[in-house]
Structure 1
């Protein structure tokens, strides 16, 4: 084990020489040592500043565990405050922003109805997006996988492709935000919505967000809608709750005060069944619908030929 330490003062260089048996030899050796010390008198040995790694002031207990007596990284935090008899931790806002910025180019993937092994799904991700600058693939928990790209523009390009399929099952893609939590990931899914024949005067960010907010929480628009390079329909990614009958019309009041209806189209919707309260499989394969039917095992009649006669083994 390499021990790191910060020396509080310059180290002393000492020269040790071997004594010679004769007096003349000893004098010659002393003269040589003095000459060497004068030669190296101006040499300063510098050690790097190891700061928080500590100093030689360490103690080792009988178990061999090194306990540093100096300040470590774990002590760099704001002191807790007490309110109504409860200790409340104070977090560093600046550090939170730095950590959040690290994940801005990441998205979360989940395969609907199946939980593939991480190594298999990681290979799938690198196969379809490997040429787009993936920096990290990490498993969050048993179902969700985090994929981090080199920048947000690349991630958005992947999101705009819509739903991809793993083993004929849809993969939900959702950009990571600080507002995501595990409960919301279970009850809400990101869905691309098309606003068919929407008036061009309503293609602004505020109008589009207001329109789709009646369905769910707006996440982003695709590049084609943003650049207005194709104006057949506006395309918006919305984080919406899984429902049995999602709305097909959005009502709004136009600039003339008239109540209008806007037809919407979903590119993909997860199917949720009332029997099992889950989604990702067909009703024909739902075990709670089919149930378990016990059947009597059929025993095949076994026969053998003996002495030219057929002998039935069943009694």
Structure 2
């Protein structure tokens, strides 16, 4: 990889490196089918992580696993479909510890995100059947955090006891146990929220 001199931009007399959309577009596309993986409380070896990922299913190309010294892994898959398959197969545990998985995004920052915003699988028991669609589930999920996915049984309505969605939540705040909903006739419904795993956030050490 050969490099060239590209003069920095001067803004109010200060040198500023200006990154253009076209400069990062190719690498953005390269890393989109990737997830960030963090094992709570410990950092397993690369070999342990490779075995863990291989157990999640079959892949067209062996996923690339990279370790960051801050204690997390980047796992890059051949395509977004394989990435989504692993993301939606949780919750996961490795060495009896919870595994946190997040889609990689260009602005990802480990210390800002992994330790405070975590994707959690949420069950909505006895959800009315006319609410099992992307719009309503997105609306419900948005009251908890940032909705990401529903599992296959929910999208296909193969199981009607509860809907199951993956929501990215801020664990620095109390997790809602109940959601109030108003149906089209104005009736108030109280929807229970069950979390498959609840992280414990320490206000002292963060």
**TM-score when normalising by structure 1:** 0.57
Residue in structure 1 matched with residue 58 of structure 2 by the alignment: 131
> 1: CA distance between counterparts of 2:8 and 2:135?
41
Work out whether residues 163 and 173 of structure 1, in 8 Å CA contact, stay in contact via their aligned partners in 2: no
CA-to-aligned-CA distance 1:267-305 (integer Å, 9 cap, x gap): 11112356x546xxxxxxxxxxxxxxxxxxxxxxxxxxx
Aligned-pair distance for 1:188? 1.4
What is the CA–CA distance in structure 1 between the aligned matches of 2:48 and 2:70, rounded to whole Å? 12
CA distance in 2, matches of 1:130, 1:189: 23
Q: Secondary structure at the match of 2:137?
A: helix
Instruction: Say yes or no: does 1:237 pair with 2:166.
Output: yes
Q: Does 1:104 align with 2:37?
A: no
Residues 263 and 130 of structure 1: is their aligned pair in 2 closer, same or farther, counting only changes over 3 Å? Answer: closer
- The match for 1:156 is 84
- Tell me the equivalent position of 1:22: none
Contact 1:244 1:271 in 2 (8 A): no
1:208–1:86 distance in 2 versus 1, CA, 3 Å: farther
Q: C-alpha distance in 1, partners of 2:43/2:168? A: 22
Residue in structure 2 matching 1:200, options 114, 129, 144: 129
Tell me which residue corresponds to 2:189.
Answer: 260
- Taking the TM superposition and a 5 Å limit, the aligned residue runs for 1:87-98 are 87-98=15-26
Q: In structure 1, what is the Cα distance between the partners aligned to 2:176 and 2:188?
A: 17
Give 3-state SS (helix, strand or coil) of 1:198's partner. Answer: coil
Counterpart for residue 109 of structure 2: 181
Correspondence 1:119 to 2:49: no
When the two chains are superposed, the root-mean-square deviation of aligned CA atoms in Å is 2.6
The alpha-carbon deviation at position 124 of structure 1 amounts to 3.0
- Structure 2 gaps of 5+ residues are none
**1:179, 1:259 → 2: CA distance?**
39
Contact 1:195 1:265 in 2 (8 A): yes
Structure 1: 5+ residue stretches without partners: 1-52, 54-71, 279-315
Q: Counting strand residues as a fraction of each chain, which structure ranks higher?
A: 2
Q: Which has the higher contact order (CA 8 A, sep 6+)?
A: 2
Within-5 A mapping of 1:1-315? 73-75=3-5, 80-116=8-44, 118-129=45-56, 131-133=58-60, 134-182=62-110, 183-243=112-172, 245-273=174-202, 277=205
Looking at structure 2, the residues matched to 97 and 90 of structure 1 have their Cα atoms a distance apart, in angstroms, of 14
Maintained 8 Å contact 2:46/2:67: no
Tell which structure's C-alpha radius of gyration is larger. Answer: 1
Work out the number of aligned pairs and report it: 204
From the superposition, tell whether residues 83 and 244 of structure 1 become closer, same or farther in structure 2 (CA, over 3 Å): closer
TM-score normalised by L of structure 2: 0.84
